[in-house]
Structure 1
Amino acid sequence: MFKLMLQFIQVAKTQNVTQAANQLCLSQPTLSHNMHKLEEKLGTKLFNRNSKGITLTSSGELLYEQAKMMQHLYENTLHKLEKHKLRHQTELKIGCGDAWWHLFVRDCVQDFRQAYPQSNITIDVGDHLQLMNLLLSDEISIFVGHEILGLAQSEDILFHPLFTSQEEVFVRQGHPLIGVNCSNEDIARFPSVDLGASKSRFAHLVQEQNEKLTSFQKRHYLQEKVKYNTNSLATAIDLLQTSDAILPYPASMKDYFARFDLVPLQMQECFSTATIGAYLHKDSQQNAESSELLAQFKVLCNNLTW
């Protein structure tokens, strides 16, 4: 029936069966037969036929107006379906740590949004173990974070190194250690802010900790030491501003922290280094959006001068 209506619209528009048939790639007898069939189905005469051609009857005029509305609705529906399909085909679900969001992931997501304005975008910002859990459950398709030392082996996860990051120890202006050439023992005397999700919640993601991790714990997070744990960067900044706590964090956030009067301590040796990279679920290798974003990360990180 809908096909007959589309043919009727063309005949009504041209008021010439032969011309309409040519435009519809039909034979003239076939189109004439179809118009007679439409009149029979509707039980009304649609055309005045004479030797000079055809004109629309009052019923034909009414049907023509309604049919054009139906055609417009149909075409609009197809357009919306195409946009819906495109939105989900190019959907991006990404995760990253606070530092990497501020430093470069935000710019890459902005470029992606401009390239795919109809796409859904989901952004999870948090701890690398929390993001790994989301990746394994397919809630995100790519995330940028620290290489997870002691990560339980998984053939489904791929890690793409991007750069090496050094950590500094940040404190408030006026902290007792400002101006001191600090050792690890000096900073161990002060409370520390641990920015990240609860380690016990995601303990299943990490195998038994290796010597490097155990040493790190012993040197900087002594059992008797006061610790503030939060998964919010804004909360961590508030804690630093209102206490003598310290926060080990990527040195590349120095300019960002300066806005809040937080500064790095002078350390006798580098506090720690870590490899930063992108984790992808193996199936996401077939995801064009994640692969495209990974390529952007690599190009941008090669040009960074931190």
Structure 2
Amino acid sequence: MHKNYRYFLMVAHLGSIKQAAEQLHISQPSLTSAMQKLESDIGVSLFHRRSKGMELTEYGKMLKEHVQQQQEQHNQLLHRLHDMHQREAGKLKLGTGDTWWELFVREAVSQHLKQAPKSSIELEFGNNLSLMHHLVQGEIDLFVGHEIRHLHERCRVQFVPLLQDREAVYVRGDHPLLKRNVQSISEVDASYPLIRVTPDHARHSVVLADHMKSQMGISSDVVRSTYNVDSFSASLDILRSSDAIMPYSSELSAWMMQKGFKTLFIDENKLGNVGIYHKLGCDDEKVLSMIERIRQRV
């Protein structure tokens, strides 16, 4: 970033030539001269000189917004360059859902770190669409999650199947519904809230085929209260302290029981494939090694 732009942002932020000069470790006359030159080059006044300090004009506010955007883009570029360098040196960026981390991804990562103790690893937790978005953007190398139907053709990815699971509905250990023979959510009274763990967000719909985007967020249960929670841990806290019900993978039923929760029922009709997504044609040895480690754990 141009030196005078950096100076300008500091003056705009502090509203004082004196304080900005101290922060920038330059003299006040030098900073004043730099701001005058910047105004001369642009051809407009950037500041109102008040007795209490410097106040941005409308031109100054517009320039501040522009320079801040430039600064953010520059920082993003530096981050991407640093990340690229680390990945060339062996850094692995892995995405996963909380269920798969608890069941087998944790062990695969532990083995990876034991065999390559000096390597770097970055973990990204989230739902399928967000992780797919990160994969397509090149922000992660692979992720473990459910198979996503109707992906957009621009998503050049490959799916390695691992297992199949069903949707279970969990409740706290002393939930009143445990006294009933419930077999589907439609049989549960609408007074019991529904917890949706890490739900999909519209901003990640770019990975879906166009005809699927309009269906995101549509729910047939418009009466029941819904808690959309982006944290698995927070979802469990809510489940433990309320009468809510929580649909989640049946593969986690034993783990949930250890934590004091009960399986209300398992929906045999909601069957999903779980596997590993990676870029199509991937030949990165560290990615292929991690895929094999995960497959062995499953």
TM-score bin (small chain)? 0.5 to 0.7
Change (3 A) 1:241 1:91: same
Equivalence for 1:281: 279
Distance 2:208 2:155 in 1: 14
Deviation digits for residues 160-188 of structure 1 (CA, Å, limit 9, x no counterpart): 11110122100012212103221322236
CA contact (8 A) 1:170 1:264 kept: yes
Aligned to 2:207: 205
| Cα distance in structure 2, aligned partners of 1:165 and 1:198 | 19
Q: Contact 1:151 / 1:206 at 8 angstroms: preserved in 2? A: yes
Quote the Cα distance in structure 2 between the aligned partners of 1:195 and 1:111: 28
Gaps in structure 2 of 5+ consecutive residues: 1-84
SS for the counterpart of 2:248 is strand
Distance 1:128 1:119, change over 3 A: same
The number of aligned residues is 210
Q: CA deviation at 1:115?
A: 1.0
- Asked whether the 8 Å contact 1:87–1:118 carries over to 2, the reply is no
1:291 counterpart = 2:288: yes
**CA–CA distance in structure 1, aligned partners of residues 165 and 277 of structure 2:** 16
- The SS at the match of 1:245 is coil
Instruction: For 2:124 and 2:229, locate their aligned partners in 1 and report how far apart those are by CA, in whole Å.
Output: 16
Unaligned runs of 5+ in 1: 1-84, 302-306
For 1:299 and 1:153, the matched residues in 2 are separated by 30
Shift of 1:245: 1.0
Normalising by the residue count of structure 1, what TM-score does the alignment of the two structures yield? Answer: 0.63
| 8 A Cα contact 1:195 1:236, kept in partner | yes
* Distance apart, 1:89 and its partner CA: 3.0
Partner of 2:198: 196
TM alignment of 1:1-306, pairs within 5 A: 88-154=88-154, 156-184=156-184, 185-187=186-188, 189=190, 190-207=192-209, 208-209=211-212, 222-266=221-265, 269-270=267-268, 272-282=270-280, 285-301=282-298
CA RMSD of superposed structures (Å): 2.5
Contact kept? 2:142, 2:276, Cα under 8 Å: yes
User: Contact 1:95–1:124 (CA<8 Å) still a contact in 2?
Assistant: yes
Identity of aligned residues (%): 27
- SS in structure 2 at match of 1:166: strand
The answer as to whether partners of 1:95 and 1:143 remain within 8 angstroms in 2 is: yes
